[in-house]
């Protein structure tokens, strides 16, 4: 098959605030605005951002738990965002989700075995024996003993419950697993167990992950590529090493600088970024980050910066750090990886690479 | 025991053999199994551990805010300025709470009253403890909001909690807590519910205020990064006991307890390279409803030998101002 | 801290076994007392033909007799055995109470679940329910019965209809809470279709609320039945029921007080038992409503 496994194009979700029988225009929450990315088989794409940035809405849109206002979600080239219920049903097998809260995402009245075999039973009838074998197999895959299948969720620990959530997602052999803050509710030592499990599963089964998290340590550990979201938009999408080595967007930089590092010898030089995330009901004009941005210029207050491809295969939406030049068709190509030709064209003009390196000093090097 | 000879005036809070039990329908949970530590004047003490280790119970025991029907402190003493808090009357305790010891919680919304303005609540805290007049107290409230760096405090004093963002609510909570300039501030996971950029702001605020007011801070958290950035001394708790106690530099440089070591290694860290398996601590935390024989960490510990399974290790010095409850601490530190 | 905030949801629902009864009694004495009383009453009522004697046979020579070995509670103005009539009356009361509660619970659950899931249905049907709630129960029941004439079947329906809106509302609110729970979303992600989600994941969560509300409905249905029968529009007069008995004996209170007190006290005890059971169930399902320990 050609093209990426999962491709998201211009995905947008507006939530109307209240019903508008008596009003002419209803205010909307712009939860997700024009988000595009792609995920290859066996790859991990992380979406990071703070609360209200729309990362969880992206997950829900991908799973079609909510219908998008605009945009397309393509799996192997088929648009699932536009599918009717019945056609959607069969596509559900390709993409599964792991939830944040290991307590509320499992039905407290069902046993572990019932929980993890339920998705399969939505598609085919299982005999008692088959169901038993499937449950045992899935439990073994996630490192639990098959005897656990008769337990209720309340009789399991947080880590075991999250393993059940993963087993449930695995039961349909999906090609993509969307993990929405899947380890955030867990203790550090359990978190390590679950992250290792996810890495192992990816290696064995070639599953692609869309991993949504606010924890940069976790993201850096597992991501191949990282998309940074701010107020509904992707502001930077880059290969993981490149992003953490030299963040280009000032928000990415602030985010990385703000994350606490378990090293008491490190002295924090820079002051944390001021202000708070504005409301998505009434986002700032122009670049949504400009009220908090130390680099903001006049243009940031007027125009929304487009995602501009950079030399090292990343895209950045910033007027200052990544000024757009008029490359034809650039905006359309800006989603996902910019094609190699475009990247070649880009290098050497516009924003010189050396300048990026100088301006964006690595925060931890700065601290040492 | 450790540093016990120094009952000098620089010790603010001295806790000895504190034991707190929770009573369930048919079982007793030994949430705190006899812990001893001190908080010195003006220091920032971190209390780290995973959920269920007893760190929040410690805070609630100190403030005597445990749920009355299901929990009780059954042993030990909590000496604040040399007086045992556990022997005070409820009235005296109420006076200490807020006046000398204040607390901020993880979720500010649950501890702010939704029907009063933020200014009103700060002013109330001021009035209870200083007998200031209403207008003076309101002025003080505005001043407090400015102190915790809430943008335009003149307007914000008249806001209700739901009109503030999560970060601002936590700032307001800090303002209430500091309104009476307490000597000890207990912060229970104050930034866990906040975003990273806001967390960085709040952490910096707490550290700055501490430096300015000389308030001692007991910082309860699960996040080793937060501890490294804010605390001077650290206590590591596991299964209702203190397993290690050290100044922050020593703790991170040479952890002496296998649990501390495991905890540090299981945090993803770029310095070790990415896309590799994280070292994990196998197994799960022990059930505190059942009596534990030997070291509570022994079943998960890579260093465990026979003595660990038979005898409970006590906290002992393994360096200057560094103590660990481990039979093999020296070997652990050597690794 | 998980010690302090054990989720309520974590209480597992499993079948009660006989060995659980002492523990249940200790933790939830109301359930045991109410349920036990109700069980005794039910057994007495069901077994009535075996021991209670004849409840309809009239004997003009034995009118308004005091209690005797033959007729434990004496006889009424038509010479019928008051004890037998009280016992047989329990059958009617309990049957009407339970069946009305079951009808109201079933209808209410159905309406509530659909209303909780479909916005358009919700808007229409819940307004109808609001309308129903504004009509006094007894008036609505009398109106319905006068359409068809008296009979136990129509009586049950007439009592159940005005009780349905309250149940529907409660179930709807539970459904609105549960449908947002991540495990329901997880089921949808796993490819479950809506009817299955409703049946397997949402309906079971409404059962505790239904049982509590059902007990309330049952108690008020018993009272409504007695009231309607007293007014002469409930159970046909030839069938012994507590309402009928009180109505027909009200003139003889001074001469034969037991003819009124026997059904009256039974009525009070039954309603009390049902209410105790309801309160107990509420405490049992929602631990927050009662302080533990």
Q: What is the DSSP string of chain C?
A: -TTT---GGGS------GGGHHHHHHH-HHHHHHHHHHHHHHHHHHTHHHHS--SS---GGGTTPPP-SSSTT-B-TTS-BHHHHHHHHHHHHHHHHHHHHHHHHHHHHHHHHHHHH-HHHHHHHHHHHHHHHTS-HHHHHHHHHHHH---HHHHHHHHHHHHHHHHHHHHHHHHHHHTTSHHHHHHHHTT--HHHHIIIIIHHHHHHHHHHHHHHHHHHHHHHHHHHHHHTSSS-TTS--HHHHHHHHGGGTTT-THHHHHHHHHHHHHHHHHHHHHHHHHHHH-GGGS---
Residue in C3, C27, C292 closest to B31 by CB: C3
Q: A196 and B280: CB-CB below 8 Å? A: yes
**Best of A56, A103, A109 to disrupt the C interface by mutation (most C CBs within 10 Å)?**
A109
A15: tokens are: 């939530």
CA of A119: which chain C residue's CA is closest?
Answer: C190
Residue in A260, A262, A276 closest to B165 by CB: A276
Chains that touch C (3 or more CB pairs under 8 A): A, B
CA of A64: which chain C residue's CA is closest?
Answer: C189
Buried b (16+ CB within 10 A) or exposed e, B102-118: bbbbbbbeebbeeeebb
- pLDDT the model gives residue A353: 36
Q: Name the residue among B207, B198, B197 with its Cα closest to residue B170.
A: B198
β-sheet bridge partners, residue A211: A46, A179
**Best of B170, B196, B238 to disrupt the A interface by mutation (most A CBs within 10 Å)?**
B196
Residue in B22, B25, B69 closest to C3 by CB: B22
CATH assignment of A6-94+174-367? 3.40.50.300
Q: Identify which of A302-316, B19-33, C100-114, C183-197 has the greatest average pLDDT.
A: C100-114
For residue A152, list chain C residues with Cβ-Cβ distance below 8 A: 12
> How many angstroms away from the CA of A312 is the closest CA of chain B?
19
Regarding beta strands A233-239 and A225-230, do their DSSP bridges make them parallel or antiparallel, or are they unpaired? Answer: antiparallel
Residue A107, pLDDT above cutoff 80: yes
Residue C15, pLDDT above cutoff 80: no
- Greatest Cα pair distance, chain A, in angstroms, is 68
* CB proximity list for A218: less than 8 A, separation 6 or greater: A183, A191, A195, B268
Dihedral pair phi/psi, residue C206, rounded to 5°? -85, -10
- Tell me what percent of the residues of chain C surpass a pLDDT of 70: 90
For A75, the 3-state DSSP assignment is strand
pLDDT in tens, A126-181: 999 999 999 999 999 999 999 999 999 988 888 899 999 999 999 999 999 999 99
pLDDT in tens, A257-282: 888 888 888 777 667 788 888 888 88
Q: C292 and B25: CB-CB below 8 Å? A: yes
Q: Does C187 touch chain A (CB under 8 A)?
A: yes
Q: C204 and A109: CB-CB below 8 Å? A: yes
- pLDDT the model gives residue C3: 38
- pLDDT the model gives residue C12: 41
Angstrom distances, CA of residue B35 to CA of A129, B77, B239:
52, 10, 11
C198: tokens are: 């409703």
Residues C131 and C68 sit within 8 Å (Cβ to Cβ): no
Q: C190 and A154: CB-CB below 8 Å? A: no
Angstrom distances, CA of residue B134 to CA of B120, B123, B140, B144, B153:
9, 7, 10, 15, 17
**What's the rounded Cα separation, in Å, for the pair B196 and A254?**
9
Q: A103 and C9: CB-CB below 8 Å? A: yes
Q: B197 and A266: CB-CB below 8 Å? A: no
For residue B29, list chain C residues with Cβ-Cβ distance below 8 A: 3
Mean pLDDT of chain C: 83
Q: Does A105 touch chain C (CB under 8 A)?
A: yes
HEC string for chain B: CCCCCCCCCCEEEEEEEEEEEEECCCCEEEEEEEEEEEEECCCEEEEECCCCCCHHHHHHHHHCCCCCCCEEEEEEEEEECCEEHHHCCHHHHHHHHHHCEEEECCCHHHHCCCCCCHHHHHHHHHHHHHCCCHHHHHHHHHHHHHHCCCCCHHHHCCCCHHHCCHHHHHHHHHHHHHCCCCCEEEEECCCCCCCHHHHHHHHHHHHHHHHHHCCEEEEEECCHHHHHHHCCEEEEEECCEEEEEEEHHHHHHCCCCHHHHHHHHCCCCHHHCCCCCCCCCCCCCCCCCCCCCCCCCHHHCCCCCHHHHHCCCCCEEEECCEEECCCCHHHHHHC
Residue A346, pLDDT above cutoff 60: no
> How many angstroms away from the CA of A40 is the closest CA of chain B?
17
For residue A191, list chain B residues with Cβ-Cβ distance below 8 A: 266
Residue A190 DSSP one-character state: H
* 56-85 in chain A: CB under 8 A from chain C: 60, 63, 65
In this prediction, the answer to ipTM > 0.90 reads no
**What's the rounded Cα separation, in Å, for the pair C75 and C82?**
5
Q: What is the mean pLDDT of residues C18-29?
A: 72
Where is average pLDDT lowest: A21-35, B2-16, B277-291, C219-233? B2-16
pLDDT in tens, B88-118: 998 899 888 878 899 998 877 778 888 999 9
> How many angstroms away from the CA of A188 is the closest CA of chain B?
6
Q: B69 and C292: CB-CB below 8 Å? A: yes
Half-sphere exposure of B273 (CA within 13 A, CB side): 3
Where is average pLDDT lowest: A100-104, B218-222, C20-24? C20-24
Q: Does B236 touch chain A (CB under 8 A)?
A: no
Q: A260 and B200: CB-CB below 8 Å? A: yes
> How many angstroms away from the CA of C31 is the closest CA of chain B?
18
Mean pLDDT of chain A: 82
For residue B70, list chain C residues with Cβ-Cβ distance below 8 A: 292-293
Chains that touch A (3 or more CB pairs under 8 A): B, C
Q: C189 and A165: CB-CB below 8 Å? A: no
CA of A120: which chain C residue's CA is closest?
Answer: C190
Regarding beta strands A44-48 and A225-230, do their DSSP bridges make them parallel or antiparallel, or are they unpaired? Answer: parallel
**What's the rounded Cα separation, in Å, for the pair A225 and A240?**
5
Element holding A79 (H helix, E strand) = strand A78-79
- Tell me what percent of the residues of chain A surpass a pLDDT of 70: 84
Give the alpha-carbon dihedral of A256, A257, A259, A264, to 10 degrees: 130
Residue C19 pLDDT level (bands cut at 50, 70, 90): low
* 242-271 in chain B: CB under 8 A from chain C: none
Residue A339, pLDDT above cutoff 90: no
Q: Does C56 touch chain A (CB under 8 A)?
A: no
Q: How many CB pairs under 8 A join B and C?
A: 25
- pLDDT the model gives residue B154: 87
CA of B27: which chain C residue's CA is closest?
Answer: C293
> How many angstroms away from the CA of C39 is the closest CA of chain A?
28
- Number of neighbours of residue B178 by Cβ within 10 angstroms: 23
Q: Does C192 touch chain A (CB under 8 A)?
A: yes
**What's the rounded Cα separation, in Å, for the pair B58 and C4?**
13
For residue B105, list chain C residues with Cβ-Cβ distance below 8 A: none
A75: tokens are: 């799996």
CA of B28: which chain C residue's CA is closest?
Answer: C3
Residues of chain B with pLDDT under 70: 1-9, 270-275, 335
On whether the pTM is more than 0.90, the answer is no
CA of B287: which chain C residue's CA is closest?
Answer: C3
Where is average pLDDT lowest: A26-30, A76-80, A333-337? A333-337
């Amino acid at each position: 098959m050609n093209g990426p496994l999962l491709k998201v194009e211009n995905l947008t979700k507006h939530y109307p605030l209240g019903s508008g029988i008596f009003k002419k225009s209803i205010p909307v929450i712009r939860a997700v605005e024009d988000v595009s990315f792609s995920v290859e088989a066996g790859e991990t794409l992380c979406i990071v951002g703070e609360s209200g940035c729309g990362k969880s809405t992206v997950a829900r849109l991908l799973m079609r738990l909510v219908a998008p206002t605009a945009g397309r979600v393509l799996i192997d080239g088929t648009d699932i965002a536009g599918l009717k219920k019945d056609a959607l049903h069969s596509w559900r097998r390709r993409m599964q989700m792991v939830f944040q809260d290991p307590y509320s995402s499992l039905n407290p009245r069902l046993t572990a075995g019932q929980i993890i075999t339920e998705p399969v039973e939505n598609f085919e009838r299982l005999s008692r024996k088959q169901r038993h074998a499937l449950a045992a197999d899935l439990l073994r895959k996630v490192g639990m003993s098959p005897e656990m299948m008769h337990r209720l969720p309340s009789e399991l620990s947080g880590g075991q419950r999250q393993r059940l959530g993963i087993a449930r997602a695995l039961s349909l052999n999906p090609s993509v697993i969307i993990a929405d803050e899947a380890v955030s509710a867990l203790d550090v030592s359990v978190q390590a167990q679950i992250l290792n499990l996810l890495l192992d599963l990816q290696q064995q089964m070639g599953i692609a992950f869309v991993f949504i998290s606010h924890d940069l340590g976790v993201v850096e550990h597992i991501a191949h590529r990282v998309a940074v979201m701010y107020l509904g938009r992707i502001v930077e999408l880059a290969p993981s090493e490149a992003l953490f080595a030299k963040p280009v967007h000032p928000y990415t930089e602030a985010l990385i600088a703000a994350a606490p590092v378990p090293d008491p010898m490190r002295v924090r030089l820079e002051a944390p970024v001021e202000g708070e995330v504005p409301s998505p009901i009434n986002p700032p004009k122009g670049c949504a980050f400009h009220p908090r941005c130390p680099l903001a210029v006049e243009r940031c207050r007027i125009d929304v910066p487009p995602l501009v491809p950079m030399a090292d295969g990343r895209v950045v939406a910033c007027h200052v750090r990544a000024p757009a030049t008029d490359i034809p068709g650039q905006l359309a190509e800006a989603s996902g990886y910019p094609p190699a030709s475009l990247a070649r064209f880009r290098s050497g003009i516009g924003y010189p690479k050396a300048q990026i390196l100088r301006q964006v000093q690595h925060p931890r090097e700065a601290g040492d | 025991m450790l540093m016990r000879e120094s009952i000098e005036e620089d010790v603010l809070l001295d806790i000895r053999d504190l034991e707190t039990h929770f009573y369930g329908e048919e079982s007793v949970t030994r949430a705190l199994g006899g812990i001893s530590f001190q908080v010195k004047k003006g220091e920032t003490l971190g209390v780290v551990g995973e959920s269920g280790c007893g760190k929040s119970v410690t805070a609630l025991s100190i403030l005597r805010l445990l749920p009355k029907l299901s929990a009780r402190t059954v042993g030990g003493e909590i000496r604040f300025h040399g007086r045992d808090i556990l022997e005070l009357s409820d009235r005296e305790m109420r006076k200490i709470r807020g006046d000398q010891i204040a607390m901020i919680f993880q979720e500010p919304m649950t501890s702010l009253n939704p029907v009063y303005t933020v200014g009103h609540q700060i002013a109330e805290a001021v009035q209870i403890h200083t007998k200031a007049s209403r207008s003076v107290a309101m002025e003080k409230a505005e001043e407090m909001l400015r102190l915790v760096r809430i943008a335009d405090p003149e307007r914000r004093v008249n806001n209700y909690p739901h009109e503030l963002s999560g970060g601002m609510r936590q700032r307001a909570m800090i303002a209430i807590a500091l309104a009476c300039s307490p000597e000890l501030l207990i912060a229970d996971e104050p930034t866990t519910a906040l975003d990273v950029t806001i967390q960085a702001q709040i952490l910096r605020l707490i550290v700055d205020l501490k430096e300015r007011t000389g308030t001692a801070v007991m910082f309860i958290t699960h996040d080793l990064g937060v501890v490294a950035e804010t605390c001077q001394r650290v206590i590591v708790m596991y299964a209702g006991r203190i397993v290690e106690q050290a100044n922050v530099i020593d703790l991170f440089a040479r952890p002496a307890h296998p649990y501390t070591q495991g905890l540090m290694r299981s945090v993803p860290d770029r310095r070790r390279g990415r896309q590799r398996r994280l070292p994990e601590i196998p197994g799960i935390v022990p059930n505190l409803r059942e009596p534990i024989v030997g070291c509570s960490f022994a079943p998960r510990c890579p260093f465990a030998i026979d003595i660990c399974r038979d005898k409970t290790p006590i906290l002992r010095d393994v360096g200057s101002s560094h103590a660990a409850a481990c039979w093999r601490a020296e070997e652990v530190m050597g690794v | 801290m998980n010690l302090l905030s054990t989720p309520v949801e974590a209480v597992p629902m499993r079948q009660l076994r006989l060995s659980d009864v002492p523990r249940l009694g200790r933790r939830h004495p109301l359930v045991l007392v109410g349920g036990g009383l109700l069980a005794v009453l039910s057994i007495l009522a069901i077994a009535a033909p075996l021991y209670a004697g004849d409840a309809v046979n009239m004997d003009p020579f034995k009118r308004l007799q005091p209690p005797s070995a033959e007729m434990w509670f004496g006889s009424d103005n038509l010479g019928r055995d008051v004890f037998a009539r009280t016992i047989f009356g329990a059958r009617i009361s309990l049957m009407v109470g339970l069946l009305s509660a079951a009808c109201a619970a079933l209808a209410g659950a159905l309406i509530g679940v659909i209303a909780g899931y479909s916005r358009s249905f919700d808007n229409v049907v819940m307004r109808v329910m609001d309308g129903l709630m504004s009509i006094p129960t007894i008036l609505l029941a009398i109106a319905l019965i006068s359409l068809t004439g008296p009979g136990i079947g129509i009586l049950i329906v007439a009592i159940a209809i005005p009780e349905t809106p309250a149940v529907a509302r409660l179930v709807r609110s539970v459904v609105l809470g549960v449908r947002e729970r991540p495990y329901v979303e997880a089921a949808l992600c796993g490819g479950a279709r809506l009817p299955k989600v409703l049946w397997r994941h949402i309906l079971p969560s409404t059962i505790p609320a239904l049982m509590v509300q059902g007990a309330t409905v049952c108690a008020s249905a018993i009272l409504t039945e007695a009231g309607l029968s007293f007014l002469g529009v409930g159970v046909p007069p030839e069938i012994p029921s507590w309402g009928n008995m009180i109505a027909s004996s009200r003139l003889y209170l001074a001469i034969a007080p037991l003819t009124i007190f026997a059904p009256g006290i039974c009525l009070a005890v039954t309603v009390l038992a049902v209410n105790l059971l309801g309160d107990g169930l509420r405490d049992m399902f929602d631990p927050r409503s009662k302080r533990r320990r």
